Amino acid sequence: MRGSLEKLMIQSKIMTHLIFLLALAFSPLVHAFQQAPAEVGVKEKLGSSVALDSVLRDEQGKPVTLRGLIQKPTILTLNYFRCAGICTPLLNSVADVINQVGLEPGKDFQVITVSFDPSDTPEIAEQKQINYLKLMKRPVAPAAWRFLTGDAVNTKRVSDSVGFHFRADKDQFVHPGVIIMLTPAGTVSHYLYGISFLPAEVQMSLQEAAAGQVSPTISRFLAFCYSYDPESRRYVLSATRLAGIAVLVFAAAFILFLYLGRSRGSKDKTGFTE
């Protein structure tokens, strides 16, 4: 106690000097802390043009540019084909939308999926295209949904041009879940976030894109490519359904109890006192 008291006397002198030093120190501290963090996500580029001249490969390995492909309103999705996370539910939802939307795919609009993984090949892309066209409930020409690949530089140019930022994480990628509407001139018109989309919403934004309008984002809840397991959702729902039945049974029993209890006589005024 005494020792620390002596120390205290000395330190308290230093203290007075240091208190205002502390205050001074905070300004550079704040400054030092303010640096841009590394980005994964979307930095919206509404109104600017997609990289029209990047050279990509189509499903047969032939070089194509987006300028050559985009003449109508276009849904652009950025994925990679080995994706174990949100890409599959996202593309499935796009397929659902194509099936339900009140516009004709290939005529009123088209879908272009670009892989940002340079190790994806046109062969895998072609397989993907065949698989997804099988999901279509009406005849859809292959040109209505393109699956493009490309080298790291060119695909990066495309993803950067729409503000889509991803990062390699071990052998997978961390990336946002989003679809991007492009006008017939290749301008970014609208972003729709998430991994599932409403046909009506997609239709409205395609119509805006067709008119060349740029419309601001509505709800920006970013889904990231993490462990998403559609299977487990099904388990949950069956569990909730079971529990729901249990609650209904309980409720029915309670009502029954009320009515039975009541028919025993009208002494209810004292029946439930403290």
Partner 1 sequence: MTSSAETATYRGFLDEGGRKGLLAWLLSTDHKRVGILYLGAMVFLFFVAVAIGVLMRIEQLVTTTAIFPPAMYNALFTVHGVIMIFMFVLPGLAAVFGNFMLPIMIGARDVAFPRLNLLSWYFFIAGALLAVMSLFLGNGPPDTGWTFYAPFSLRTGTNVPLAVFAAFVLGFSSILTGINFITTVHRLRAPGMGWHRMPLFVWSLYATSWVQVLATPVIGITLLLVIAERFFGIGVFDPAKGGDPILYQHLFWIYSHPAVYIMILPAMGAITEIIPTFAHRTIFGYKAIAYSSLAIAALGSLVWGHHMFTSGMGEAANIAFSLITFLVAVPSAIKVFNWTSTLYKGAIVLRPPMVYALTFIFLFSIGGLTGLMQGALNLNTHLHDTYFIVGHFHYVMFGGTGMGFFAALLYWFPKMFGKMYNEKVAFIAWAPIFVGFNMLYGGMLILGYAGMPRRYYTHLPQYHTGHVIASVGGFILAAGLLLFFANLFVALFKGKKAGQNPWGGVTLEWQVPAPPPLENFDVIPEIKSRPYIFNPEAAK
Partner 2 sequence: MSSVHAQPHPAHKDYEGAKLGMWLFLFTEILLFGGLFLLYSAYRARYPLEFHHGGQHLNTFIGVANTFILLTSSLTVALAISALQKGNRKLTLTCLGITILFGLMFLMNKYIEWSEEIAKGLYPNGPELLKLPNGEKIFYGLYYAMTGLHGLHVVAGIIALAIVWNFVRRNSVTPTDFNKLENTGLYWHLVDVIWIFLLPLLYLAA
Q: Please identify, among the stretches 12-20, 60-68, 211-219, 246-254, the one whose residues bind partner 2 according to the rule CB under 8 A.
A: 12-20
Binding mask 172-211 for partner 1 (x = CB under 8 A): --x-------------------x-x-xxxx-xx-------
Binding mask 17-56 for partner 2 (x = CB under 8 A): -xx-xx--x---x--xxxx-x-------------------
Distance CA 97, CA 241 (A): 28
Specify which residues 79 forms β-bridges with.
115
Q: Which is nearer to partner 1, 8 or 247 (CB)?
A: 247
Q: Distance from CA of residue 203 to its chain's centroid? A: 19
Q: How far is residue 135 from each of residues 13, 79, 87, 88, 254, measured CA to CA in Å?
A: 78, 18, 16, 13, 48
Interface positions, 212-271, toward partner 1 (CB under 8 A): 215-224, 226-229, 232-233, 235-237, 239-241, 243-244, 246-247, 250-251, 254-255, 258, 262, 268-269
Binding mask 158-177 for partner 1 (x = CB under 8 A): ---------x------x---
DSSP for 151-209, written as a single string:
-HHHHHHHHHHTTEE-EEETTEEE-EEEEEEE-TTSBEEEEEESS---HHHHHHHHHHH
Q: Please identify, among the stretches 13-21, 57-65, 98-106, 235-243, the one whose residues bind partner 2 according to the rule CB under 8 A.
A: 13-21
With CB under 5 to 8 Å by kind, the binding choice for 19 among partner 2, partner 1, none is partner 2
Contact, 89 vs 227, CB < 8 A? no
Q: Which residue is listed with tokens 């009406």?
A: 138
Using CB under 8 A as the binding rule, whether residue 14 contacts partner 2 is answered as: yes
Q: Where do the DSSP E strands lie in the chain?
A: 41-42, 55-57, 63-65, 74-79, 110-115, 145-148, 164-165, 167-169, 172-174, 176-182, 188-193, 223-224
Site residues for partner 1 per CB under 8 A: 30, 33-35, 37-41, 43, 96, 100, 102, 167, 174, 194, 196, 198-201, 203-204, 215-224, 226-229, 232-233, 235-237, 239-241, 243-244, 246-247, 250-251, 254-255, 258, 262, 268-269, 272-274
Site residues for partner 2 per CB under 8 A: 1, 4-5, 8, 11-12, 14-15, 18-19, 21-22, 25, 29, 32-35, 37
